[in-house]
Amino acid sequence: MGELKKVQRPKGTSDLLPEELKKWQYLEQTARKVFERYQFFELRTPLFEHYEVFARTVGETSDIVSKEMYDFYDKGDRHIALRPEGTAGVVRAFVENKLFGPEHKKPYKVYYMGPMFRYERPQAGRMRQFHQLGVEAFGSDNSAVDVETIAMLMDFLKCLGLKHTKLVINSLGDKESRASYRKALIAFLEPQMEKLSENSRRRLHENPLRVLDSKDKKDQKIVASAPSILDYLNEESRQYFTTVINMLEELGIPYKINSNMVRGLDYYNHTIFEVMSLKMSGVQTTIAAGGRYNNLVEYFGGPETPAVGFGIGVERLLLTMDAEEVDLPVKKTLDVYIVTVGEETNFKSLKLIQAIRQAGYSAGCDFLGRKAKAQFKTADKEQAKLIMTIGASKLTAGVVNIKNAKTRKEVSVPLQQVYENFTDIYKKLI
């Protein structure tokens, strides 16, 4: 048997250690609190789906499907893909579970959070396994739902302590408007085809709107003078977008219109939006993006159902919070630390710590047989509110010393009292 090679995590993944996870948990808890205030409730879908779920909805010609999808054939020869984004799986669940039925309140509002997978070059804020928070609202074509969803997103970012963000919006119009614009865009780009990047030349006739989204500097220079989709909106689409703008202004939500902005997924129509970080540099400035999609439910065999939603990249959001130096309230504190002196206290200290935890308090103690001085240092490092000391003599007397680490107030308490009613002791000392 050969020498065991060093095992490392796969490229593009990361281990989230307890200290780092405190930030993640705070972010997720804040999301749950804000989203549920707006009557969005959590839905969970599988990490993998049938390949067609993403190929049909995200778009066969998109980079996500053609280059980045983690897909494979399982032991039953089924074509399976790890989810590269959240919306398609949620829509599939909406249809499969008949959540469009009259017994379900409309709009039907859900949120999700969890890992997604894309095979791409790992970089800051963009890993092969990354995490998203997202929301979807099904069943209303009222533009007020678009604005409510945007308002919730901005509310969430504000609750996280972010102050330097920018909302950018655009309209892709309805099917008719999009078809008119597609024709005009192809006519504009075709004479300059040789100057476009290889990716954009491929996209030109497959999905020309994606050329507007190119990160290639030469492409960006060309599309800067491309016709605006807003000039090709029909009356209904123009009115829809105007209403969205008026509502944002009514709510006092600042925005900027970018007529060259498109979404990377094929299923959007009407309102689309992104939120940028003003503190981040480079191409990774978008922390959240979304929009309206009114035809996706039908793709899965459901009835015609309008919908709107957004997705947030958790890693990018955390980087943005770091860039803004947001002070998160995730400081580690401990209610009680038990300092033990002597081997004979091992049994009683375990009984004490369990009694304290069962009373609803956090507690820690030494399991390494260290000297008392080292244990007191640990209690200080972990910011223990109370320090409980037990040694051989106290054990014989059936009592324990408890001290408030801040006020230095100290009492001697019978062990039995700790077992039976620690809450009273805690309240008297804190």
Tokens read off for 380: 């200080």
Q: How far apart are CA 315 and CA 326, in angstroms?
A: 15
Going by C-beta distance under 8 Å and a sequence separation of 6 or more, which residues neighbour residue 370?
Answer: none
Is the Cβ–Cβ distance between 65 and 81 less than 8 Å?
Answer: no
Exposure class string for 79-114: b at 16+ Cβ within 10 A, else e: ebbbbbbbbbbbbbbbbeeebbeeeeeebbbbbbbe
| Best CA proximity match to 134, nearest among 101, 107, 111 | 111
Q: Over the range 271-287, which residues count as b (16 or more CB within 10 Å of their CB) and which as e? A: bbbbbbbebbeeebbbb
312 — phi, psi (to 5°)? Answer: -125, 130
Report the distance separating Cα 404 and Cα 116, nearest Å: 46
Give how far the C-alpha of residue 358 lies from the chain's centroid of Cα atoms, to the nearest Å. 33
pLDDT digit string (tens) for 23-38? 999 999 999 999 999 9
59 has a pLDDT exceeding 80:
no
Position with higher pLDDT, 64 vs 307: 307
Q: C-alpha distances in angstroms, 258 versus 172, 233, 351?
A: 11, 15, 64
Answer yes or no: same fold for 18-174+234-323 and 334-429: no
> How distant, in Å, are the alpha carbons of 8, 135, 293, 317 from that of 87?
31, 8, 10, 19
Distance CA 45, CA 85 (A): 11
pLDDT tens by residue, 151-163: 999 999 999 999 9
Residue that is written with structure tokens 């039995």 in the block? 416
Domain definitions of the chain by residue range: 18-174+234-323, 334-429
Q: What is the model's pLDDT at position 284?
A: 59
**Coil, strand or helix at 135:** strand
Q: Is residue 419 pLDDT above 60, yes or no? A: yes
> Would you place residue 290 in the very low, low, confident or very high pLDDT band (cuts 50, 70, 90)?
very high
* Domain 18-174+234-323: CATH superfamily, name plus number: Bira Bifunctional Protein; Domain 2 (3.30.930.10)
Q: Can you tell me which residue has the tokens 């901005």?
A: 154
Q: Are the C-beta atoms of 428 and 410 separated by less than 8 Å?
A: no
pLDDT at 60: 57
* Overall fold of domain 334-429: Rossmann fold (3.40.50)
Alpha carbons 424 and 407: distance in angstroms, whole number? 18
> pLDDT tens digits, residue range 69-128?
899 999 999 999 999 999 999 999 999 999 999 999 999 999 999 999 999 887 776 789
Specify the amino acid at residue 367.
F
pLDDT for res 265: 58
Q: What percent of the chain shows pLDDT beyond 90?
A: 71
Indicate the burial class of 29 (C-beta count within 10 angstroms; 0-12, 13-18, 19 or more).
exposed
Q: With 90 as the cut, is the pLDDT of residue 44 above it?
A: yes
